[in-house]
């Protein structure tokens, strides 16, 4: 008869020194869980609560049913890479070679991590603009790099990048500058003057750029998205990241892409092939088919601008002070007229007592900064937004 295996109480336990000792559960997970627990309207985490176009589902289903379910090429299905390259040329005027310069990724976060891992060596410095999307710093640290934060300034027109401070942060060890426009979490966008300032900073250097453009089709009030693709001097040293999940309301599909000059793309693919190797086959084919019609992404600015305006009009009846939302699907508000609580405490109170979840903007700083600002997501059904607004007017 076999006896149960026992382990001595003084047995040595293997230990692991964390590579990310300061990283815990993200604020997005915390606030979403709290929203579920309290039955709150979740305007915290950035995802739509409405369905995508049924035609997109049909295209993916057709790909599955036709047998397109095995590994695709490592860099992505050729038809999808060609569709991406054609879109970038048509919208931004920059021609990328679909075979050597476009790579399909398992979402934008994987694309960002892979780009950083292929660029950054131990001791390299990476300039980031705060507040900053929460994956940037851990990715830099995993690569052995040093994040160098430059904080955005706040003025009458909202958040902006102080390019003089960015220039002052450059050292001989600077390897990479990361930009994000439209910007999460602030909703600000970069303009031509910003891109020219960035050109001046990197000209004559070996500094590379990662341009996070996942909200590229969410720029409002008739403004155009200033992609680095529009600026040859920048495009020649940039990894451009975008997201089909954001564009087509399918965040759970986790599919995006990177466009970069061939020598940079080759290095990106070296890491990509050992990171995820390749990406969901039928989804790639379905999106390639769906992209034949540009209307869904060309109409996206008006689609989300209407939701933004509905939400902002409703917030005018509250004590929150509205900050500009020129892009993305996020609205930041100043709550200093309501409470002097720290941002995380206020966000939890708002979720628990008022029934609306938000995200504290302090969570987007490497060293938490209290500004009395929280972020709402308006990528929601109109009824969801109206319910949230009804509750927020009681604050």
pLDDT per residue as tens digits for the range 164-189: 999 999 999 999 999 999 999 999 99
Structure confidence by residue, pLDDT tens digits, 339-351? 999 999 999 999 9
Percent of the chain with pLDDT strictly greater than 90? 91
Token pair 């709550």 is found at 335
Tokens of 120: 């950054």
Specify the pLDDT at position 100: 98
Would the pLDDT of 108 be above 80?
A: yes
pLDDT score of 255 more than 60: yes
Does the 54-293 domain belong in CATH 3.30.365.10?
A: no
**pLDDT for 196:** 98
Q: Are 361 and 331 contacting, i.e. CB atoms less than 8 angstroms apart?
A: no
Whether pLDDT at 24 is above 90: no
Question: Which segments of the chain belong to CATH 3.40.640.10?
Answer: 54-293
Q: Given a cut of 60, is residue 374 above it in pLDDT?
A: yes
Instruction: Name beta bridge partners: 155.
Output: 158
pLDDT at residue 261 greater than cutoff 60: yes
Report which secondary-structure segment, H or E, holds 261. none
pLDDT tens, position by position, 198-243: 999 999 999 999 999 999 999 999 999 999 999 999 999 999 999 9
Return the higher-pLDDT residue of 51 and 15: 51
In this structure, the strands spanning 146-151 and 153-155 are unpaired
The answer to whether residue 256 scores a pLDDT higher than 90 is yes
What pLDDT score was predicted for residue 2? 52
In angstroms, rounded to a whole number, what is the distance separating the alpha carbons of residues 265 and 136?
A: 19
Q: Look-up: residue for tokens 């500009």?
A: 324
State the pLDDT confidence band at 248, using cuts at 50, 70 and 90: very high
- Residue 102 and residue 124 in contact, taking contact as beta carbons nearer than 8 Å: no
> Residues 6 or more apart from 99 whose CB is under 8 A from it?
78, 81
- Whether the per-residue pLDDT at 139 is higher than 60: the answer is yes
Residue 137 confidence (pLDDT)? 96
Residue 210 is encoded by which pair of tokens? 């990662």
* Strands 238-243, 208-212: pairing kind: parallel
pLDDT at position 13: 77
Exposure string of 208-221, with b = 16+ CB inside 10 Å and e = fewer, is bbbbbbbbbbbbbe
Q: Looking at residue 26, what is its pLDDT?
A: 84
From 13, 53, 27, select the one nearest 344 (Cα to Cα): 27
Question: How large is the C-alpha radius of gyration of the chain?
Answer: 22
Q: Is 310 exposed, middle or buried (0-12, 13-18, 19+ CB in 10 A)?
A: middle
Q: Predicted confidence band at 8 (pLDDT cuts at 50, 70, 90)?
A: low
What's residue 15's pLDDT?
A: 86
Q: Are 145 and 121 in contact (CB under 8 A)?
A: yes
Answer yes or no: is pLDDT of 372 > 70.
yes
Half-sphere exposure of 76 (CA within 13 A, CB side): 32
**Is residue 162 over pLDDT 70?**
yes
Confidence label for 11 from pLDDT (cuts 50, 70 and 90): low
**CB–CB of 253/244 below 8 Å?**
yes
Which segments of the chain belong to CATH 3.90.1150.10? 27-46+298-392
Q: What is the DSSP letter of 353?
A: I
The answer to whether the CB of 238 falls within 8 A of the CB of 262 is no
CATH number of 27-46+298-392: 3.90.1150.10
**9 band by pLDDT with thresholds 50, 70 and 90:** low
Q: Mean pLDDT of all residues in the chain?
A: 95
Structure-block tokens of residue 386: 């109206």
Predicted confidence (pLDDT) at residue 12 exceeds the cutoff of 90:
no
Q: Which residues contact 303 (CB under 8 A, 6 or more apart)?
A: none
- Residue 5: both structure tokens together: 């295996």
Confidence of residue 96 (pLDDT cuts 50, 70, 90): very high
pTM of the predicted protein model: 0.94
pLDDT for res 250: 98
Residue 348 · residue 320 · CB < 8 Å: no
Q: Which stretches does DSSP call E strand in 82-145?
A: 102-105, 125-130
Q: How far apart are CA 294 and CA 194, in angstroms?
A: 28
Q: How confident is the model at residue 4 (pLDDT cuts 50, 70, 90)?
A: low
Pick left, alpha or beta for residue 187 (phi over 0 → left; psi -120 to 50 → alpha; otherwise beta).
Answer: left
User: What is the C-alpha separation between 269 and 251, in angstroms, rounded?
Assistant: 23
Q: pLDDT tens digit string along 279-327? A: 999 999 999 999 999 999 999 999 999 999 999 999 999 999 999 999 9
What's the longest Cα–Cα distance across the chain? 79
Element (H, E) at 325: none
């Amino acid at each position: 008869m076999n006896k149960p295996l026992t382990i001595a109480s003084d047995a040595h336990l293997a230990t692991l020194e964390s590579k990310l000792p300061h990283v815990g559960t993200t604020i997005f997970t915390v606030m979403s869980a709290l929203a579920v627990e309290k039955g709150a309207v979740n305007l915290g985490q950035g995802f739509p609560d409405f369905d995508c176009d049924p035609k997109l589902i049909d295209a993916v289903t057709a790909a599955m049913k036709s047998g397109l379910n095995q590994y695709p090429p490592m860099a992505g299905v050729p038809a999808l890479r060609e569709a991406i390259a054609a879109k970038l040329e048509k919208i931004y005027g920059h021609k990328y070679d679909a075979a050597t310069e476009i790579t399909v990724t398992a979402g934008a976060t994987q694309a960002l991590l892979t780009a950083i891992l292929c660029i950054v060596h131990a001791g390299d410095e990476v300039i980031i603009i705060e507040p900053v999307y929460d994956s940037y710093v851990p990715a830099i640290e995993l690569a052995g790099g040093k994040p160098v934060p430059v904080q955005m300034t706040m003025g009458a027109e909202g958040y902006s990048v102080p390019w003089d401070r960015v220039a002052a942060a450059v050292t001989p060890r600077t390897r990479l500058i990361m930009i994000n426009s439209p910007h999460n979490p602030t909703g600000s966008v970069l303009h031509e003057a910003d891109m020219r300032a960035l050109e001046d900073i990197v000209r004559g250097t070996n500094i590379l750029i990662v341009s996070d453009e996942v909200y590229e089709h969410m720029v409002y009030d008739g403004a155009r998205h200033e992609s680095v693709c529009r600026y040859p001097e920048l495009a020649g040293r940039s990894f451009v990241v975008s997201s089909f999940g954001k564009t087509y309301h399918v965040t759970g599909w986790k599919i995006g892409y990177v466009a970069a000059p061939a020598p940079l793309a080759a290095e990106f693919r070296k890491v990509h092939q050992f990171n995820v190797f390749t990406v969901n086959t039928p989804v790639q084919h379905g999106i390639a088919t769906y992209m034949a019609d540009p209307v869904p992404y060309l109409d996206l600015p008006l689609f989300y601008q209407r939701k933004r305006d509905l939400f902002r009009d409703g917030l005018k009846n509250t004590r929150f002070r509205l900050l500009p939302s020129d892009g993305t699907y996020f609205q930041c508000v100043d709550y200093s007229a309501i409470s002097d609580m720290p941002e995380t405490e206020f966000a939890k109170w708002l979720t628990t007592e008022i029934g609306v979840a938000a995200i504290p903007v302090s969570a987007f700083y490497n060293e938490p900064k209290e500004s009395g600002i929280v972020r709402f997501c308006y990528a929601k059904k109109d009824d969801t937004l109206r319910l949230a607004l009804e509750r927020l007017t009681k604050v």
